[in-house]
Amino acid sequence: MDIFFQQLVNGLTIGAMFALIALGYTMVYGVMKLINFAHGDMVAGAAFVGLTIYTHIMGEAASLLAVIAIFLLTAAVVAFLGILLERAAYRPLRNAPRLSAVVSALGASLIIQNGIMLVWGPQMRIFPELIPQVSWEFGGVIVSLIQFLIMGVSLLLMVALYLFIEKTRMGAAIRAASIDQDAARLMGINVDRIIAVIFIIGASLGAVGGLFIGLYYRGITFNMGWQYGLYAFVAAIMGGIGNIPGAMLGGIILGLFNAFIAGYVSSTWADAFTFILLIVILIVRPTGILGERVAEKV
């Protein structure tokens, strides 16, 4: 039983990171009906930006205020890059065939990935120990401070996002644009502004997820965005792409599934079992766990 509860804690931690990153995919798809394949690479870039801010700007200070500042500055930088990405790679192709936007997204992904490699190098970098290595034991289950923080902060961010989408005027505008952009424009909604907002939010949440990955695993590489981006993309599909609560649920389910496969089978089988789970879910629920069938305009 100790193994079960230990893997439960590990799975919730990993799932929280997957959920944060998955929200970036699902928010962009919800409004633009586009998969932002560059999102995972921006997550990787966030980890390196955070490393640079810590090393060259904060002077390697690890106080609570410094850690908060690193998160805020990194989120701001990546959000700005998200806006640039939308304006340069996606906005010019908004009315083009979908294949053109997909190719543009893949090209942007390669540009970001190679940009990270050119700036920070191809070798693995060790992420700084911003959070003290403190842990507690509860009945044989070890929970670290970083796990508490990842789960707690992720929960707060996800609740805040849900309330923002459901309870604010901007959130109502985002929901309207996700249903029908043309109708939203007729209602006086600035759709370009809405798209900019979702890129800012998605990139910021991805930045937090990237920093959490660095803090949790300690090693970061220029191409790690492919791995974590793929997991988050799978989580978004599992939950129902375009559905915000679905992305959260999909991330948690995928994190738990990976942790239990690693604990009871082998971590080398995690990828294979992940896609088996995805196939099973899509056979039972083609639109994802919380996804709904939507009639498209013709």
**What DSSP string runs through 189-227?**
--HHHHHHHHHHHHHHHHHHHHHHHHHHH-EE-TTHHHH
pLDDT exceeds 80 at position 249: yes
pTM as predicted: 0.92
Distance CA 63, CA 29 (A): 38
State the burial class of residue 108 (Cβ atoms within 10 Å of its Cβ: 0-12, 13-18, 19+).
Answer: buried
DSSP character at residue 269: G
Q: What is the pLDDT confidence band of residue 61, given thresholds at 50, 70 and 90?
A: low
User: What's the chain's length in residues?
Assistant: 298
pLDDT exceeds 70 at position 162: yes
Beta strands in 4-131 (DSSP E): 125-126
What is the C-alpha R_g of the chain? Answer: 19
Q: What is the pLDDT confidence band of residue 298, given thresholds at 50, 70 and 90?
A: very low
Most confident of 35-49, 86-100, 261-275: 35-49
* Distance, C-alpha 82 to centroid of its chain: 13
What average pLDDT does the segment 12-24 reach?
Answer: 96
Distance CA 40, CA 232 (A): 8
- Residue 93's pLDDT is 87
Cβ pair 211, 70 in contact under 8 A: yes
pLDDT exceeds 60 at position 284: yes
Distance CA 9, CA 11 (A): 5
Distance CA 168, CA 197 (A): 13
Q: What is the pLDDT confidence band of residue 1, given thresholds at 50, 70 and 90?
A: low
**Domains along the chain?**
2-120+144-284 (1.10.3470)
Please identify which residue in the block is written with the tokens 């920070």: 120
- Residue 60's pLDDT is 60
Helix, strand, coil % over all residues of the chain, rounded to 5: 75, 5, 20
- Residue 56's pLDDT is 81
Cβ pair 70, 1 in contact under 8 A: no
